[in-house]
Amino acid sequence: MFSFCTDPATLDTAAWLACYLTTGKHMSIYVSVGTVLMLLAITAPLALAFGFGGAVAARARFWPLRALGRLYIAIVRGVPDIAFFLFFVIALDQFFEWLRHQVKCPDWAEPIRQGNDFVVCAAAKLPLGNAPQWVHETYGFSLAVLTFAIVFGAFAANVLFGAMRAVPRAQLETAEAYGFSRRQCFCRILVPQMWVYALPGLSNLWMVLIKATPLLFLLGIEDIVYWARELGGAKTARFTDYPHPDWRMWYFLALLVFYLIFTRLSEIVLARIMARLTHGQATLAGEAQRKAA
């Protein structure tokens, strides 16, 4: 906060706004932007790993593994995102506590399910009741990241599965004729070429992931949507040094601009990646580059 912010009632409009936007509460919304970016930075590669594993499983020769991969894709893609997020965070939390309960409290005699309550011993709680606040926040954020990764991993698996099937079979057969093993064909022929076919779908999935970050608000994490609602609501002099009417429209307008700028930057980066991957490739994008040259 600036030195002239001692008495907000004496400030003119510009100085009042400068002081208002640098209060401790407003620092929380700036930090929450970093929370959203961190979620994307962690979730995107993790979801891609889940997707790659699901795609490989869905095309496996071992039928139980193939059934598991296709079941994962079908179930997650068939459930609405909000319902899955609200269910899966609770389910994951209870599953982790159940595992700890089996290890730490083997002599527990009471049932864990007691009506609608889920009761485990105190040592199995996650996080522990005496844990500092940052541990609780980190645990909640980790559950959210894992849930996002599992959900969007299923969509990524479907995209990668289709991309693997789009690679010309003749190229794999040629590699096999030259003595390549099945693993070598997969690692050296299939995987390097599938990204050209997968990138358009993965680009759309990245945009959807960006737009899904406000779901953190539903999971109890104080993200930018939470702080926009809290800070934008009407404030009176009884509760704050900076009273103002209902400004939620302006806060959410700022969020709209933030997401539009972020998605536009993503489009530019993804277009450059696509141009690099399709260079010299026998695809429509590669053919367009050849004609333009």
Q: What is the pTM of this model?
A: 0.79
Assess if residue 13 is contained within a domain.
Answer: no
Longest dimension (CA), the chain: 83
Domain assignment of residue 172, given as a range: 3-7+19-292
Say what the pLDDT of residue 115 is. 74
What's the domain count of the chain?
1
- What tens digit of pLDDT does each residue of 60-76 get? 888 889 999 999 888 88
Cα 228 to Cα 213: distance, rounded to the nearest angstrom: 14
pLDDT at 54 over 80: yes
Closest by CA position to 193, among listed 218, 222, 217, 169: 169
Assess if residue 123 is contained within a domain.
Answer: yes
Cα 146 to Cα 82: distance, rounded to the nearest angstrom: 15
Assess if residue 113 is contained within a domain.
Answer: yes
Closest by CA position to 182, among listed 56, 41, 21: 56
CA distances from residue 90 to 144, 216, 247 in whole angstroms, order as listed = 10, 14, 33
Assess if residue 225 is contained within a domain.
Answer: yes
Assess if residue 270 is contained within a domain.
Answer: yes
pLDDT category of residue 280 using cuts at 50, 70 and 90: low
Say what the pLDDT of residue 41 is. 92
Assess if residue 67 is contained within a domain.
Answer: yes
Cα 128 to Cα 122: distance, rounded to the nearest angstrom: 7
- What tens digit of pLDDT does each residue of 17-34 get? 777 777 777 788 888 888
Beta-strand relationship, 117-118 and 113-114: antiparallel
| CATH at 144 | 1.10.3720.10
Cα 41 to Cα 262: distance, rounded to the nearest angstrom: 13
Assess if residue 12 is contained within a domain.
Answer: no
C-alpha neighbours within 13 Å on the C-beta side of residue 194: 24
Give DSSP secondary structure letters for 32-48.
Answer: HHHHHHHHHHHHHHHHH
Specify the higher pLDDT residue, 244 or 237: 244
Assess if residue 127 is contained within a domain.
Answer: yes
Q: Give the CA dihedral 42, 47, 50, 52, nearest 10 degrees.
A: -110
- What tens digit of pLDDT does each residue of 119-135 get? 888 788 887 767 787 78
Phi-psi group of 220: left, alpha or beta (phi > 0 → left; psi -120 to 50 → alpha; rest → beta)? left
